[in-house]
Amino acid sequence: MTDTAWIDAALTSARPQAVGALLRYFRNLDTAEEAFQNACLRALKSWPQNGPPRDAAAWLIMVGRNVAIDDIRRSRKQEPLPEDDAISDLGDAEEEIAERLDGSHYRDDILRLLFICCHPDLPATQQIALALRIVSGLTVKQIARAFLVSEAAMEQRITRAKARVAKADVPFETPGAMERSERLASVAAMVYLIFNEGYSASGDTAELRAPLSEEAIRLARLLLRLFQSEPEIMGLTSLLLLQHARAAARFDADGAFVLLDDQDRSLWNQKMIAEGLALIDKAMRHRRSGPYQVQAAIAALHARAAKPEDTDWAQIDLLYGALEVMQPSPVVTLNRSVAVSKARGAEAALEMIEPLGERLSNYFHYFGVRGAYLMQLGRHEEARVAFDRAIALANTSAEAAHIRMHLDRLMRDSQSPSSKISKK
């Protein structure tokens, strides 16, 4: 019997809880990880013969703890190893530890594990790499692939991040309500970062990075199960699902980016959309709005439109208005202007983004969007200048290719006799 897929799945799903509990016990990340690894090795040996334990996480926590304690003893006294069977004989012990794994405890264990990865001294990329390694259990190789760096470089990055976290004061006492909600907010932001690492990839890298988006969704669902009544966590999970539902339609066969309006909506994942819509619906009953909920509500309006022209742009405009109040940012205003251009026309949209020019002077999307409005208004020369600037600022070849497409159209549209002469 070589089919161990069910064991892999069980180990993956038990990992955050098990490593979180082992960390609380040993108060050292390396020891906790090693203990978990050892427990997994024993699971691979024991589970195929004995079948899965009733509570996989409890089994792994106990075995991991025992093995680690034995290791410590052994290194101290140089005593012979205990018999394998003695450690694996878990009958009653499993039940005992399962009882101690009450809900609130393991909730804080997992939150702590995620929270230490969000250490403010760590740059975002290191936070993400650390979380993917420690919480999600991706291999260094998998993470390196997603970040397009060598395995050695990623190994070093994670080792450094771990060393920094180890020096920091990890708070092991049970957090108060206020502290818990602050931790939850940091962790939610990190989960969104992980998602965006996958979502913002394009072309060749999109395939490599898609697992990051999926992992972020898994983590968001995990948070939601732990904090069932938090509307912002419902909003976050909904937002990720609704955005990821469009993954298959976002790039064409050549890897070029496809705008929302031009996407083949039959490629949207209806299962994810159903779940995303259900979650935002549930969140809004709480009447405690927040940025994730508003963004999810916007994504929901897109998801509900069977055709682009069915989109409720006026409502999207209002929602972006609410988001501007919660999270004032020129990028939010820029996004809002797209809804404004659909609901009220390009002139109103252009007027809205005019004041942003200074702050977004190095932002690719600003010039792409600005060029599009100018083109719609027939101000072709100004549009061309904006598109040229956008190409200069493009982050990926897909972005540049997309703008070039606009430029080509602009050239075709402006092939009046006079412009022909002046061009060549």
Question: What residue ranges bind another protein (CB under 8 A)?
Answer: 5-6, 9-10, 12-14, 218, 221-222, 224-225, 228-229, 234, 237, 271, 274-275, 278-279, 281-282, 285
Cβ-proximal residues to 268 (8 Å cutoff; 6+ apart), any chain: 245, 246, 248, 249, 303
Q: Closer CB to another protein, residue 5 or residue 178?
A: 5
Residue 197, helix vs strand vs coil? helix
Least distance from another protein to the Cβ atom of residue 268, Å = 15
Contact 125, 147 (CB under 8 A): yes
Helix segments in 27-138, DSSP class H = 29-50, 56-77, 84-88, 91-100, 103-117, 124-134
CA-closest candidate to residue 194, choices 211, 178, 176: 211
Structure tokens that stand for 386 in this block: 């904006």
Least distance from another protein to the Cβ atom of residue 157, Å = 26
Q: Closer CB to another protein, residue 142 or residue 337?
A: 142
Q: Closer CB to another protein, residue 220 or residue 372?
A: 220
Q: Closer CB to another protein, residue 101 or residue 385?
A: 101
DSSP result, 307-323: SGGG--HHHHHHHHHHH
Least distance from another protein to the Cβ atom of residue 26, Å = 24
Q: Closer CB to another protein, residue 287 or residue 412?
A: 287
Q: Closer CB to another protein, residue 272 or residue 393?
A: 272
Least distance from another protein to the Cβ atom of residue 244, Å = 12
Q: Closer CB to another protein, residue 39 or residue 394?
A: 39
**Integer Cα distance of 394 and 380 in angstroms:** 20
Least distance from another protein to the Cβ atom of residue 230, Å = 9
Cβ-proximal residues to 336 (8 Å cutoff; 6+ apart), any chain: 317, 320, 321, 323, 324, 352
Around Cβ 150, how many Cβ atoms within 10 Å?
11
Least distance from another protein to the Cβ atom of residue 223, Å = 9
Contact 1, 48 (CB under 8 A): yes
State the angle between helix axes of 204-226 and 177-199 in degrees (0 to 180), rounded to the nearest 10. Answer: 160
Least distance from another protein to the Cβ atom of residue 177, Å = 17
Contact 97, 58 (CB under 8 A): yes
